[in-house]
Amino acid sequence: MSRDGAILWLKPFIARPIALLGLGILLGTILAATFAPWLAPYDPYAIDPSIRLTPPNALHWFGTDQFGRDTLSRVIHSARMALLIGSGVVMFALATGVPIGVLSALFPRLGHLLMRMVDVLMAFPSLLLALGLIVVLGPSVANAILAIGLGYMTTTTRIVYGLTLRLRMETYVEASRSMGAGTAWLIGKHILPNLVSPLLVQASFVFAFAQLGAASLDFLGLGAPPEIPSWGNMLAESRTFITRAPWLLFFPGMMIVATAFSLNLVGDALRDRLDPRFRQLFSEKG
Amino acid sequence: MNGNAVLDVRDLKVSFSVRRAGRKYQVRAVDGVSLSLAEGEVLGIVGESGCGKTTVGRSIVGLVRPDSGTISFKGTDMTGASLRDMRLNIRMVFQDPYASLNPRRTIGDSVAEAGDINGFFTSRAGRSAAIAATLTAVGLDPSFAARYPYELSGGQRQRAGIARTILPSPSIVIADEPVSALDVSVQAQVLNLMMDLREQLRLSMLFISHDLGVIGQISNRVAVMYMGRIVEQAATRTVLDDPRHPYTRSLVAAIPKPDPSKRILGAIETGEPPSLFKRPRGCAYAPRCPIASDRCQVDVPELRSAGTDGRAIACHNV
Amino acid sequence: MLSVRDLTVSLGPETAPVDIVAGVSFELGKGEILGLVGESGCGKSMTSLAVMGLLPQPGPRIRAGRVLLEGCDVTQLQPWQRVVAGHGRMAMIFQEPMTSLNPVRRIGDQIAEAVRVHDRLSGPPAIDRARELLEQVRMPDPAMQLSAYPHQLSGGQRQRVMIAIALACRPQVLIADEPTTALDVTIQVQVLGLLRELCNRLDMAMLFITHDMGVIAQLADRVSVMYAGRIVETAGVEALFGRPRHHYTRGLMDCMPSRNSGARRLPTIAGQPPAPGTVGAGCVFASRCAAVRETCRTAAPPRAEVSQGHDVLCAFPLDGGEPR
Ligand SMILES: Nc1ncnc2c1ncn2[C@@H]1O[C@H](COP(=O)(O)OP(=O)(O)OP(=O)(O)O)[C@@H](O)[C@H]1O
Ligand SMILES: Nc1ncnc2c1ncn2[C@@H]1O[C@H](COP(=O)(O)OP(=O)(O)O)[C@@H](O)[C@H]1O
Ligand code: SF4
Ligand code: SF4
Ligand SMILES: [Mg+2]
Ligand SMILES: [Mg+2]
């Protein structure tokens, strides 16, 4: 990508400082996840009963927990689980929701049937659905992704279905059909390219809400195994110390909110970047 | 009817089922239209909004399935002809230059789309050259190939929309209100372009418009439609200078003439527009017609030839 | 009655404003219809919204100029002052009647609401007045139609309802922004006839905006032609169509198919209107004018009165000698 191209991509973020903040938090999380062993000042698993429940200080910036483990190190290592669950859920939701939504909109008979099933799934609150699935499948990271992803598959399908129904009626799709285009052509050249930007926004929402969903499952002991550091697990372990050691809840809780929030901001800015009507505003010289 | 017709439409009927107030209705948008298009001819179709003009065009390019009737291209029924041959030979220009180009595809990709779909291009270089030549032919710089629709003005987009229908060159172009969304000065440019292309490429054209001024400029013959039927058909000048069917007369009279000394406001009576849900039993125009008789209430008038110049009229009383 | 002086509507920052309406002036007398004609994007709608005090916020703003309604500058008034001072007597109708009407309310109630705001009537008297207004706009079967929903009406009938709502405040000035563009010619002629009749009967002034020269010729008493935010020519309708003096006006008339019957090719105006903010020091039409001279590109042309009530913004107006 040329220098101009790079500037073009950054412009929507520069024009909106709050989106830049979101981007910063997201990049920070990714960096933390990638370089956790080098960034974390201590071994996140190292137990030291002599320093149990130390409040934040110069040695342990985020304090320590009931086993004397360093909270900062555990918060940093938890970013790995957050990214894994978030991207897993997004991929699952897109990989199922996009084909189902597009095909349902293009083939009304099939669509009728599939959308009824989606409606049934949507009738359950997504957390309840996830809990039920975990009870059946047993707790594990993969099952957590599947369980949370199922809830967002339905919303993604609905969105894709609605968008495709509208795109299908666009004059340029008509024009393409009048020239003999088949379904594969319409999907590849007209429908999917126009779904990219709304799906980016949807993906950012799903990623954000997946953080909340994963935290809830972890908190209930139904998500990542308790020995693996994750923000939800940290909340769960420290909830009995809420009055004595509030920092144990504060830092992981803040991270959950911050990642969820930042993803929404980034998605919004990306949408502006990709939509030609908005893009025009940003590509004007001066 | 016409031996050397490139396009021949016989008794076309199209209906849609629509939902109104919880009830399902079957509305007949096109109710028995027959027309033929000679080689190199431009046939104008004119009529009020909702009278079925677009539906006729969409049926011909295969976007809607007619209830009955035949559409034949150069003597072969299109239901039997090779679909690819037909798709490349009959192409459509759409009314809204903003909606008819995919915002995510370059102008070049849109212009080459028919060729791409039908495997017309054999090499990338050949494709690029063809795009450049086509853009030049419609008065756009070849560099437009790499641009996106939002970078173009309405007139430029409509040129791109026209370019898309002439690569590869077809026999017939169905133009559905191609200049209605454009300003007069741009409209004149695009109309001139269409007349030039028609001559250079020996195109036959079905030119749909609600504007008799535009129709008068470009077409050789005009068919006037009312509620899904052709009510009058003749050479353009004949229709404009001497309209005979009562509906054509009111249509011609209602054109706002750009001449303040010929004011018509308050002087003519045009009646209420019809509803497809309440189709009269006899002549569809009877509720608005100043010369309707008893027979008009019960008997549907057939299109019959009137005079020697190929004029046809569907009316009991003229 | 209505006098607009040097109205300038701008976008962008105070320091570098982009004028989308630049120094527009016109006068509108009692019972008179002034046609404002020009191509899409030339600033017709912005002019009318500025006069009405309805400019979309945030965005365009009135940077200079005055709008005098019976001598009182309405741009200086707050909306509530306009109503209290009785200066609410301007009303506007728009191009697309469906988007201006509430789709889930009966039209009788929608007209009655306008009556309530302006006449302080409510209940049965307001409904009576609504029926009276529907009669005024020649709605067939007005008593029945009071209980119709907008989607049950035809486009022409919906536009009649919009006119009825506009008449509810007994306007002295009606501003109509392309009210017939979405209608068929057969229905357009009815709505135009109705507007003409209402102006005569109620002694109401009207600013009628359109891009259609034919409609202007049929309806207007005087015409202002707008190009790139400026009024380039103003004249009585006979004079304008008989002897256009500005090169742009002449070009517009020449490229109309209906004035050109017979010719193989239509005359055109080469090029496109300049985008707002890209006009230089000279004449705004210089880039497309066939008669352009060197001075046109460097100096803004003067506004010259070429004959009584006929003025042109051009340094080298067309010869008035030969009528078309
Ligand atoms: N809300 C807005 N913000 C920024 N620019 C605007 C806005 N509204 C209009 N413009 C610009 O102002 C100029 C004049 O617009 P306006 O809508 O008044 O033109 P018009 O003559 O009424 O055109 P049309 O016939 O298409 O309605 C145009 O260049 C337009 O792009
Ligand atoms: N896909 C459709 N479904 C239902 N009704 C339709 C459809 N397409 C057209 N119609 C109806 O058919 C009639 C004729 O439509 P159309 O041919 O588009 O009119 P025109 O082009 O003359 O404005 C209209 O009443 C319209 O509402
Ligand atoms: S058939 Fe009768 S109603 Fe129909 S147009 Fe002729 S005279 Fe009028
Ligand atoms: S001032 Fe010059 S460029 Fe402008 S319209 Fe007059 S002659 Fe043409
Ligand atoms: Mg149509
Ligand atoms: Mg406008």
pLDDT in tens, A155-175: 899 989 988 988 998 899 999
How near does any CA of chain C get to the CA of B185, in Å? 6
Query: What are chain B's domains?
Result: 5-226 (3.40.50.300)
Asked if the structure places residue A12 within a domain, the reply is no
A94-110 pLDDT per residue, tens: 999 999 999 999 999 99
**Mean pLDDT, range B130-148, rounded to an integer:** 94
Predicted TM-score of the model (pTM): 0.82
Confidence check: pLDDT of B64 > 80: yes
Residue A6: what pLDDT?
A: 55
Q: Which of chain A's residues have a Cβ under 8 Å away from the Cβ of B103?
A: 194, 276-277
Q: Which of C111, C140, C170 is the last residue of a domain?
A: C170
Q: C9 CB less than 6 Å from ligand 1? A: no
Asked if the structure places residue A9 within a domain, the reply is no
Asked if the structure places residue C280 within a domain, the reply is yes
Atom number, ligand 1, closest to the C-alpha of residue C46: 18
**Shared domain check, C177 and C161:** no
Q: B286 CB less than 6 Å from ligand 3? A: yes
Confidence check: pLDDT of C262 > 70: no
- Give the separation between CA C175 and CA C154, rounded to whole angstroms: 22
Residue B132 or B27, more confident: B132
CA dihedral for B16, B18, B24, B28, sign (positive or negative): negative
Look up the domain containing C206 and give its range: 2-89+171-313
Q: B64 CB less than 6 Å from ligand 2? A: no
Asked if the structure places residue A4 within a domain, the reply is no
Confidence check: pLDDT of B212 > 50: yes
pLDDT band per the 50, 70, 90 thresholds, residue C251: very high
- Give the separation between CA A96 and CA A117, rounded to whole angstroms: 13
Asked if the structure places residue A241 within a domain, the reply is yes
Identity of the residue in A170, A185, A279 whose CB atom sits nearest the CB atom of B99: A170
CB contact under 8 A, C272 and B272: no
**Shared domain check, C115 and C221:** no
**Shared domain check, C120 and C205:** no
Confidence check: pLDDT of B20 > 80: no
Decide if B101 touches A, using CB distance below 8 A.
yes
Decide if B102 touches A, using CB distance below 8 A.
yes
Q: Distances in Å between the alpha carbon of C56 and those of A278, C41, C53, C174, C180? A: 19, 16, 9, 19, 23
Confidence check: pLDDT of C291 > 80: yes
**Mean pLDDT, range B1-25, rounded to an integer:** 82
Residue C259 or C133, more confident: C133
C18-47 pLDDT per residue, tens: 999 999 999 999 999 999 999 888 999 999
Q: Which of A114-123, B211-220, B287-296, C77-86 has the lowest mean pLDDT?
A: C77-86
**Shared domain check, C207 and C124:** no
* Closest residue in chain A to residue B102, using alpha carbons only: A172
Confidence check: pLDDT of C1 > 50: yes
Q: Which of C170, C195, C224 is the last residue of a domain?
A: C170
Confidence check: pLDDT of B147 > 90: yes
Asked if the structure places residue A81 within a domain, the reply is yes
**Shared domain check, C150 and C290:** no
The contacts of residue C39 (CB under 8 Å, 6+ apart) are B183, B184, B185, B186, C211, C227, C273
User: In whole numbers, what is the pLDDT of chain B averaged over residues?
Assistant: 90
Residue B122: what pLDDT?
A: 93
Best residue in A8, A167, A178 for a mutation probing chain B (most B CBs within 10 Å) = A178
CB contact under 8 A, C211 and B251: no
Number of domains in chain C: 2
Asked if the structure places residue C196 within a domain, the reply is yes
Asked if the structure places residue A5 within a domain, the reply is no
**Mean pLDDT, range A240-252, rounded to an integer:** 88
Decide if A96 touches B, using CB distance below 8 A.
no
Structure tokens at A137: 């499948």
Number of domains in chain A: 1
What CATH code is carried by the domain that includes residue C227? 3.40.50.300
Nearest CA to ligand 3 atom 1: B315
User: Which of A274-283, C159-168, C225-234 is most confident?
Assistant: C225-234
The contacts of residue A122 (CB under 8 Å, 6+ apart) are A154, A155, A158
User: Which of A48-57, A239-248, B6-15 is most confident?
Assistant: B6-15
Look up the domain containing A212 and give its range: 31-284
Residue B191: what pLDDT?
A: 93
CB contact under 8 A, A185 and B117: yes
**Shared domain check, C242 and C183:** yes
Find out whether A145 and A137 touch, Cβ atoms under 8 Å.
no
- Give the separation between CA B288 and CA B290, rounded to whole angstroms: 7
C235-248 pLDDT per residue, tens: 999 999 999 999 99
What CATH code is carried by the domain that includes residue A238? 1.10.3720.10
Q: Which of C115, C149, C170 is the last residue of a domain?
A: C170
Confidence check: pLDDT of A285 > 80: no
**Shared domain check, C138 and C64:** no
Residue C109 or A6, more confident: C109
CB contact under 8 A, B113 and A276: no
Asked if the structure places residue A10 within a domain, the reply is no
Identify the contact set of chain B against chain C, taking CB-CB distances under 8 A: 48-49, 153-155, 183-189, 191-192, 195, 210-214, 216-217, 240, 250-251, 254-261, 263-266, 268, 270-273, 275
Confidence check: pLDDT of A31 > 50: yes
C126-164 pLDDT per residue, tens: 999 999 999 888 888 888 889 888 888 877 888 889 999
- This model of the complex carries an ipTM of 0.87
CB contact under 8 A, C185 and B191: no
Residue C321: what pLDDT?
A: 52
